[in-house]
Amino acid sequence: MTGAEDAASQGVGRPSDTSEYDYIVVGAGSSGAVVAARLSEDRNVSVLLLEAGPGAGSPILNIPAAARYAFNAKAYNWDFETEPEPQLGGRRLWQPRGRVLGGSSSINGLVYLRGHALDYEGWAAAGAGGWSYAHVLPYFQKLETFVDPSNPYQGTSGPIGVSTPTPVNPISQAFIDAGAEAGYDLTDDVNGYQQEGFGRFPMNAAHGYRWSTARAYLKPARERQNLSIQTGCEASKIGFDGKRAVAVRYSRNGRQQIARARFEIVISAGPFNSPKLLLLSGIGPADQIRQHGIDVIADAPGVGENLMDHQLIAIQLECKLPVSLNGRTGMVSKAMASLRWLLRKDGLLASNHFESGAFVRSEAAVRFPDIQFYLFPVGVAEGSNDFSREHGFQVQLSPQRSYSRGWVRLRSANPSDPPRILFNYMSEDRDWIEMRNAFRLAREVIAQPAMDAYRGRELSPGPEVVSDGEIDAHVRANMHSSYHGSGTCKMGTDDMAVVDPECRVRGVDGLRVVDSSIMPLIPSCNLNAPSIMIGERASDIIRGKQLPPSNLAFHVDPHWKTRQRPGSPLRPALKA
């Protein structure tokens, strides 16, 4: 037995089967699939990619409009749940995460957003040197191919297909027009020069298909002889030789196996499972680790801390005209849409139907947008996930830079037990202020003349919910997650940083974390595109490469200190 194999056996238990690779990547999601594919481009190195879930061949994982079904499918989902949330009446909130090749990129809502340039300036200021907007923009461009590109901010030759749909539902266009009537800017590319304003939302779907990292990166790479993709493999521990990570223990079909790494191990298991695996391996707050009878390899107090998310809640309305998607949910309509997709790869099934939205600032003196709106042209029955029988639509509103922080911790030393998760939502006063403002700003837009033909009764929360206290009570009872967990292995240089700006786990050697858990601050957007970008940039860092930084400019309202939107010379926080 070699020294490394002996250390691996001591660190993770005696294996029933062993193998050796140059690199091991744990998790084939939005980031891990990218890392494995990019590292395996060098035919001189061998790469093992371990994924706990199955392959991504099911049709529901490839049809954009089937996202709702993919999202709820137990076969592809870790199906986590939070601890009782103190500020939300003790409710436990569902936390779905992709457990399939492509990870959450295979089951999410396909909203393709990068975030604001100042999000990444904030990363650099927080200690993540080399992750400023100028440094990350080339990697966003590298990963994408825009259908019909229209500006220099968009990528034209990357693996991920991206399209910006022309609104096919008149409510979607009316919402954009209403934003203009309310005095907001219009933007022709929320991922380009100007995020702020109302416009169309791109999706990681093109030519009728979802473009997950499984389709975009792993499908072209899987025939490479130096890349081994193994599904149904749940990692339980990293083995160490002293302070150097040398092996991964995992179970496959009930059999315990060990894979050894000659060079490095990359953990890309997501915001919940990446800190869980570190903790199971002895990396984290020493007192927590010892409570579970685990030997401490490195006392790292930041592991599992700094958990962030985007809160989400909707205003639901009756639609006066029969144009919403509620009229397309019957068996005949579904059959016709399915036939059209099979024959032409277009129509209703080729869209995620989040066609329009906005990024706005909650009040004057906020430098860049901290509220996101989505228009979704379908009504949902109150207290249910089922579509309502009557025509309706909803405006979803989501504060983007919550001040609250939560944590992820071990439930036990048993790798099969899910982690404990607490977001601690709405624990900071500022979060309540932003949520109230978001409600009032959204209602103001909905009330514009452009929405008159469609706007019926407000069904939820209802016109009687007006005061701060009434809005707060509705939020406590109904707010849920955007499923954008992040930050639990944050990148930086301070004492709570888990990885350095090159994604290396501090305090040990040969181990990196590459996924949304390393985000020091949550970006103002959905997190799938930033997670893919992290995979691209980290792959180059591992290979000793770097794309030259961009010199493209970005927009910030020059009068942000004194106005909430361009059409209002001075608009402080709205009052009841």
| Residues forming the active site | 484
What sign has the CA pseudo-torsion 568, 574, 575, 576? positive
Query: In b/e form, how buried is each residue of 3-39, taking b as 16+ CB within 10 angstroms?
Result: ebbebbbebbeebeeeebbbbbbbbbbbbbbbbbbbb
> Strand (E) positions, 402-465?
407-409, 420-422, 455-460
- Distances from the Cα of 472 to the Cαs of 409, 431, 434, 439, 483, in angstroms? 29, 11, 11, 10, 21
Distances (CA, A) of 128 to 122, 493, 497: 9, 7, 10
Look at residue 480 and give its three-state secondary structure: strand
CB 286 within 8 A of CB 304: no
Q: At what angle do helices 133-143 and 528-542 cross, to 10 degrees?
A: 100
Look up residue 508 and give its two tokens. Answer: 């040990």
Is the distance from CB of 398 to CB of 309 less than 8 angstroms?
no
Q: Are 356 and 365 in contact (CB under 8 A)?
A: no
Length of the chain: 576
From CA 489, how far away is CA 52, in angstroms rounded? Answer: 20
CA–CA gap between residue 462 and residue 233 (Å, rounded): 48
Q: Output b/e per residue, 412-441; b: 16+ Cβ within 10 A.
A: eeebeebbbbbbbbbbeeebbbbbbbbbeb
Sign for the pseudo-dihedral over CA of 379, 372, 425, 405? positive
* Helix residue spans in 255-362 (DSSP H): 270-280, 286-291, 331-344
Return the half-sphere exposure (C-beta side, CA atoms, 13 A cut-off) of residue 75.
Answer: 11
Report the alpha-carbon angle 189-195-197, nearest 5: 90
Measured between alpha carbons, how far is 29 from 229 in angstroms, rounded to an integer? 12
